Amino acid sequence: MKRKNLNANKITLNFYKNNLKKKKVRELYKKFKRNFDYLKIDKICVLVSGGPDSLALLFLLKCYSLEKKIKIYCYLVDHKIREESSLEAKKVKLFLKKYLIDCKILVNKEKITPSNLQSKARVIRYNLAFKESEKNKIKYIFTGHHRDDLYENFFIRLVRGSGLKGLVSFHNVKSKIKKESDIKIIRPLINFNKNQLKYIVDETFIYYVKDPMNSSNTFLRSRIREMIVKLGKDGLKFKKLEQTLSNLSDSDHSIDFYVKKNIAANVINKKDFILLNSNFFENSSEVVFRSLNIILLKFSKKNNYVRGKKLKFLISWLENETTSKKLTLSGCIIEKTSNTVLISRENDK
């Protein structure tokens, strides 16, 4: 490497070291590390958008990668939703190169229809990131979700009528979102607020991209965000909301314990069929719901859980129907007998 490049690299490395000497940045970095430092990580993948949240995460992860001497992979997804998105992606890539970060732009080639736009964009983003991560044998994908996102997600799920699992699905630092993959999603900023992340960016990169979609009232998330701001001004105590989420999360873990117990005690699992004994349904409705959902997901070899309404109908049918003896759902045939339920695959018949 040329001497000029060596000097440039040294200056850039000093950029990270010098910023970590700032008291508040250093404190936030220590807090950041505690959220995931227990994991055995040899490679880091981080999803960036160019916004302040993801760039704050990227700064902290770059510091971590230098400290631990591990490789960092940076991906930016160009959804091609807005005309200017490709130009913005290239600008972010060029900017990060100055700080020894090689950002790969993942270009979406699917057409995204306006309905449920943000949800579809999120699925595409994860699909592209998972594909790249699997190529590089990366086990963890880091995202910039923070505490404000947690609140937003809670209220969005609440107005959509989600159950307990849905309400707290965002609460954990580590989670798995794809059944067929061993890759975990890590949210190391989930106990950081927006202002803390903005502070990190303002003290370090002093650069970020504003996405106009984030403030568009076309999307439910933007309307929920405005509502949360108003509730805060009207006196909503967010520490109490955090305690509520923590309590709900504890309840969720308790239910999961009984779900595992129910499956272990009341399910006969064979290669070509599953048999549920009568005791399987002698549990609370939530335990039965989750147990059956897990069984159908694994046995059907589908990528997604059965929709709640369909599963509730199935459970009601199993408990009350006396005339019809068979029903199909999620590629499975469910058959009733007097004391048991037999589940087999449609394509095996």
> Does the pLDDT value for residue 257 go beyond 80?
yes
> Does the pLDDT value for residue 181 go beyond 80?
no
Per-residue pLDDT tens over the stretch 329-338: 888 999 988 7
Which domain CATH number covers 341?
3.30.465
Q: Name beta bridge partners: 269.
A: 274
183 and 276 assigned to the same domain: no
Task: Read off the pLDDT of each residue in 129-145 and give the average, rounded to a whole number.
Answer: 91
Task: Read off the pLDDT of each residue in 40-59 and give the average, rounded to a whole number.
Answer: 91
Query: Residue 138: what pLDDT?
Result: 92
**Which residues lie below 8 Å from residue 311, measured CB to CB, with a gap of 6+?**
289, 292, 293, 296, 329
68 inside domain: yes
159 inside domain: no
270 and 135 assigned to the same domain: no
Decide which of 180 and 92 is more confident: 92
315 and 187 assigned to the same domain: no
Query: Residue 207: what pLDDT?
Result: 86
Pairwise CA distance, residues 49 & 39, whole Å: 25
> Does the pLDDT value for residue 87 go beyond 70?
yes
> Does the pLDDT value for residue 205 go beyond 90?
yes
Total of domains in the chain: 2
Range scoring the smallest mean pLDDT among 172-186, 205-219, 264-278, 327-341: 205-219
287 inside domain: yes
257 inside domain: yes
> Does the pLDDT value for residue 85 go beyond 90?
no
Query: Residue 180: what pLDDT?
Result: 67
Pairwise CA distance, residues 106 & 26, whole Å: 32
Per-residue pLDDT tens over the stretch 294-315: 999 888 877 677 888 898 999 9
Task: Read off the pLDDT of each residue in 18-35 and give the average, rounded to a whole number.
Answer: 94
Q: Is this prediction's pTM over 0.85?
A: no
Residue at 238: amino acid letter? F
61 and 180 assigned to the same domain: yes
63 and 194 assigned to the same domain: yes
* DSSP letter for each residue of 246-315: HHHHHHHHHHHHHHHHHHHHHEEE-SSEEEE-GGGGSS-HHHHHHHHHHHHHHHHT-SSPPPHHHHHHHH
Q: Find the domain containing 277 and state its range.
A: 252-348
Query: Residue 72: what pLDDT?
Result: 92
Host H or E run for residue 337: none
Which domain CATH number covers 83?
3.40.50.620
335 inside domain: yes
Task: Read off the pLDDT of each residue in 175-193 and give the average, rounded to a whole number.
Answer: 85
Residue at 267: amino acid letter? V
**Which residues lie below 8 Å from residue 45, measured CB to CB, with a gap of 6+?**
72, 73, 74, 75, 129, 132, 133, 136, 138, 140, 141, 142
123 inside domain: yes
**Helix axes of 52-68 and 3-20: crossing angle, nearest 10 degrees:** 110
> Does the pLDDT value for residue 37 go beyond 80?
yes
Average pLDDT, the chain: 86
295 inside domain: yes
179 and 261 assigned to the same domain: no
219 inside domain: no
194 and 313 assigned to the same domain: no
Residue at 88: amino acid letter? E
178 and 283 assigned to the same domain: no
